[in-house]
């Protein structure tokens, strides 16, 4: 008797499956479609997630941004509605008092400027930053370099221009570094071009900015000690949200407002935005797997059902096999192998088809985010084999009960 799987057994299985081609194809289609749906949805979901996170690209995910605003509660004899401003001293103070912070970077910005170069002009936002701000919003330097700490210390009149500004002022292209552009009434030397296109940014997208050293901006726009906002990131592994109360109380003590006055100090936490997106996609993923696996299961139940019918129709054939020497185990394994082969073949077709379609999607969307992972395909194939065995189990047990005398039945 036989206990191993070999080429003969495979032939035997394929012969049986090909005997009723149309039914085999229809049965396999359920599995094919289920797997296609599952993988296509998984790929599509991942692609969308990637496309969304592309917007945050180059932006430190654990950033906290602080903006001052009118107080909304009276405090120590002062009325509500009092205006106050963040200052450079706050930067130093936060650095000194909170060792968990990695970068503490002030920003001063100015809108409504016009920039000129030769005959061209454009309307950028001007952003004054410190060197370490580049760690928060990473520039994608196309030409030259980014603003450095020494630019800030020596108050150099230099600038890094965004992509749109570059295109407007230098329509012929080429490396603009070393050229002087005029912004308002001052001449600034271009030292770099930033091509980053992330849509998450602070105080105007970098696309549309002229970025200059913080110290220069403070002088030009006569801010004195005041700054518009302060950005902070935590050191590796530090979560920002729990730091918020301490930041608030430090600022409240310094600027004399009620520490419970949430409106006086607006705090933005990018971690929260990222985690909302993450949670959203975790939910979407869960749904995808639920729907996909549901479809697959329906396909497997279909296979099981049809195999059940097939077994009934094949009573005489199975009886003959038993009469000429097959043991029940032979019949059992044959039916299970038939089921596994059918599910695997149909499922592989589903895998291949979904990979093809996802490829087409990538070409159309111009984004290489959609293709499923190799291991996802392997996992799907494993899942399929298990499903195949399960689907074949009931029909196989029924087939095993067929007796050799049943070969004698006339149908």
Partner 1 sequence: MLIELNNIHKTYDNGQPLHVLKGIDLSIEKGEFVSIMGASGSGKSTLLNILGILDNYDEGEYHLAGHLIKNLSERESATYRNQMIGFVFQSFNLIGFKTAVENVELPLFYQGMNRHRRHEIAMSYLEKMGLTDWASHYPNEMSGGQKQRVAIARALITHPEIILADEPTGALDSKTSVEVMELLTKLNREDGVTIIVVTHESGVANCADKIVHIKDGLIERIEDNRQHHSSVFGTTTIMK
Summarize as ranges the residues that interact with partner 1 (CB under 8 A).
1-2, 7-8, 12, 15-16, 18-19, 316-317, 320-328, 330, 403-405, 407-408, 410
Hey, what are 93's tokens? 């103070």
Classify 165 as helix, strand or coil: helix
CB of 9 to partner 1, least distance (A): 9
Residue carrying the six token digits 């094919």 = 32
What's the closest the beta carbon of residue 356 comes to partner 1, in angstroms?
A: 32
Q: Which is nearer to partner 1, 8 or 149 (CB)?
A: 8
Name the minimum Å distance from CB 314 to partner 1: 9
Task: Give me the least distance between CB of 338 and partner 1, in Å please.
Answer: 13
In the complex with partner 1, the residue whose CB is nearer, 5 or 286, is: 5
d(CA 347, CA 43): 16
Q: How far apart are CA 161 and CA 170, in angstroms?
A: 11
For partner 1, which is the closer residue by CB, 258 or 330?
330
Other CB atoms within 10 A of residue 55 CB? 13
Which C-beta is closer to partner 1: that of 243 or that of 331?
331
For residue 251, the SS3 value is helix
Q: Shortest distance, CB of residue 4 to partner 1, whole angstroms? A: 9
Pairing of strands 229-234, 101-110: antiparallel
Q: Minimum Å distance from CB 393 to partner 1? A: 19
Q: For residues 86 and 306, which CB has a smaller minimum distance to partner 1 in the complex?
A: 306
Which of 49, 7, 41 is CA-nearest to residue 380? Answer: 41
What is the distance between the alpha carbons of residues 248 and 256, in angstroms, rounded to a whole number? 11
CA-to-CA distance for 338 and 342, rounded, in angstroms? 6
Task: Name the residue nearer to partner 1 (CB basis): 129 or 306.
Answer: 306
């Amino acid at each position: 008797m036989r206990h191993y799987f070999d080429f003969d057994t495979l032939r035997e299985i394929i012969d049986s499956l090909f005997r009723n081609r149309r039914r085999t194809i229809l049965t396999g289609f359920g599995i094919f479609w289920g797997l296609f749906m599952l993988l296509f949805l998984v790929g599509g979901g991942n692609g969308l997630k990637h496309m969304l996170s592309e917007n945050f690209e180059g932006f430190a995910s654990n950033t906290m941004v602080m903006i001052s605003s009118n107080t909304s509660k009276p405090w120590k004899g002062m009325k509500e509605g009092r205006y106050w401003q963040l200052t450079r001293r706050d930067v130093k103070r936060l650095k000194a008092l909170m060792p968990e912070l990695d970068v503490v970077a002030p920003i001063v910005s100015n809108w409504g400027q016009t920039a000129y170069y030769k005959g061209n002009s454009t309307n950028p936002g001007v952003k004054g930053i410190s060197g370490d701000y580049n760690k928060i919003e990473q520039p994608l330097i196309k030409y030259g370099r980014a603003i450095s700490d020494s630019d800030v210390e020596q108050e150099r009149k230099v600038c890094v221009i965004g992509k749109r500004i570059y295109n407007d002022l230098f329509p012929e292209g080429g490396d603009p570094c070393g050229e002087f552009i005029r912004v308002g009434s001052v001449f600034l030397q271009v030292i770099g071009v930033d091509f980053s296109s992330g849509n998450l940014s602070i105080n105007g997208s970098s696309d549309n900015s002229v970025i200059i050293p913080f110290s220069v901006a403070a002088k030009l726009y006569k801010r004195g000690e005041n700054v518009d906002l302060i950005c902070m990131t935590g050191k590796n592994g530090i979560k920002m949200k729990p730091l918020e109360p301490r930041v608030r109380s430090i600022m409240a003590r310094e600027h004399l407002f009620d520490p419970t006055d949430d409106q006086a100090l607006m705090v933005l936490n990018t971690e929260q935005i990222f985690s909302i997106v993450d949670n959203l996609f975790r939910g979407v993923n869960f749904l995808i797997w639920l729907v996909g696996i549901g479809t697959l299961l329906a396909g497997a139940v279909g296979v099981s059902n049809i195999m059940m019918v097939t077994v009934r129709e094949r009573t005489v054939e199975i009886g003959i096999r038993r009469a000429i020497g097959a043991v029940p185990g032979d019949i059992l394994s044959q039916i299970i192998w038939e089921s596994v082969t059918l599910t695997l073949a149909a499922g592989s077709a589903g895998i291949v088809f979904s990979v093809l379609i996802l490829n087409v999607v990538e070409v159309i969307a111009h984004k290489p985010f959609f293709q499923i992972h190799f291991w996802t395909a392997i996992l799907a194939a494993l899942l399929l084999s298990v499903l195949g065995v399960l689907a074949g189990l009931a029909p196989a047990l029924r087939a095993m009960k067929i007796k050799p005398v049943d070969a004698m039945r006339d149908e």
